Each structure stands twice: as C-alpha cells, then as structure tokens.
Amino acid sequence: MDKIEILPYSAELSPFFKSINQAWVEDLFSIEPFDQAQFDSPENTIVKPGGTIIYAKLGEEIVGTVGLHKVSDSEFELIKMGVSSSAQGKGVGMALGLSILEKAREMGGKKVVLYSHSKLAPALRIYNKLGFKETELEEGKYCRCDIKMELDL
C-alpha cells in the first residue's frame, strides 16, 4: 500500500486545489463567487493574505488538498478539504487534517474554525476525530453551510 505524502503549497500544484475541490462542490452544491475566486487564484486569495494550502500524494498521484485561510493573527479557517473519489477511505482526509492543524500551530494559530454541511458525513467524522466541536453558526457566512466547528490549538 502506498504511503500518503503531504506536500506544501507550490504554484505547480495549485491546479489540483481547483480540480479536486471543484469536483465535490459541483457534485453536492453549486460554485459560489468566493469558490471561483479561490479556484482561479489560490495564491492571491489564500496564500498571499497569510494562509496556506497543502496537498496529499498517494503513489504518483495528487489525491487531496486542504487550505488554511488567515482570519486573524491567531485564528485560521480550514477551507476546501477535498479528496479524489479514487482515494476516499484510505486515510487521506485524516492525514490532511492532522497536517494542516500542525501547520496552523506553526503559523501561530490558536484557533481553527471551519464551516461545513450536515450531508458531508465522512468529513464531519474526520473533524470530530481531530477534536473540532460544533459551535453556533452565524447568519449568512456561506450559503451552503449549516454547521460551524472550531478547535482550540
């Protein structure tokens, strides 16, 4: 069995951020303007403002990705965790989750929040295993989200 390798952000890998995430967002929801901006320019919308993106490689293939969007000096938002359908159930989501939380700590984060949807049961199981707890969802943050979770680092 192939080992999951976690790779840091690079411009060469940024197309995978779009292709992997666009697939599940389009399949289950619809692309919102903020999604399109992040897909089209992850460097300008996520990385340059102080966030990051990481990737998971299984064998020779990039199969997953997740981002951290900087909310403040001490808070990050976990965004766009996606795993290719061919790699689901192989521990890729958990590996990405553990790695991105470690990255948040390295970047000075004290808290990580995320927004999700109740129909994304596999993702919610990962978030719970990582220690995220459900909290009150503010009105109008994202159209498709019905759950907010947070984790103190």
Q: What is the pLDDT of residue 102?
A: 97
Given pLDDT bands bounded at 50, 70 and 90, which one contains residue 144?
A: confident
Q: What is the pLDDT of residue 1?
A: 60
- How much of the chain, in percent, has pLDDT values that exceed 90? 88
The answer, yes or no, to whether residue 132 has pLDDT greater than 80, is yes
Domains with residue ranges and CATH for the chain: 4-110 (3.40.630.30)
The whole model's pTM is what? 0.94
Q: What is the pLDDT of residue 142?
A: 77
The answer, yes or no, to whether residue 143 has pLDDT greater than 90, is no
Q: What is the pLDDT of residue 4?
A: 95
Which among 33, 42, 153, 45 is positioned nearest to 101, based on CA atoms?
Answer: 153
The answer, yes or no, to whether residue 105 has pLDDT greater than 80, is yes
The answer, yes or no, to whether residue 36 has pLDDT greater than 80, is yes
pLDDT, the chain, mean? 94
The answer, yes or no, to whether residue 110 has pLDDT greater than 80, is yes
Q: What's the average model confidence in pLDDT over 52-76? A: 96
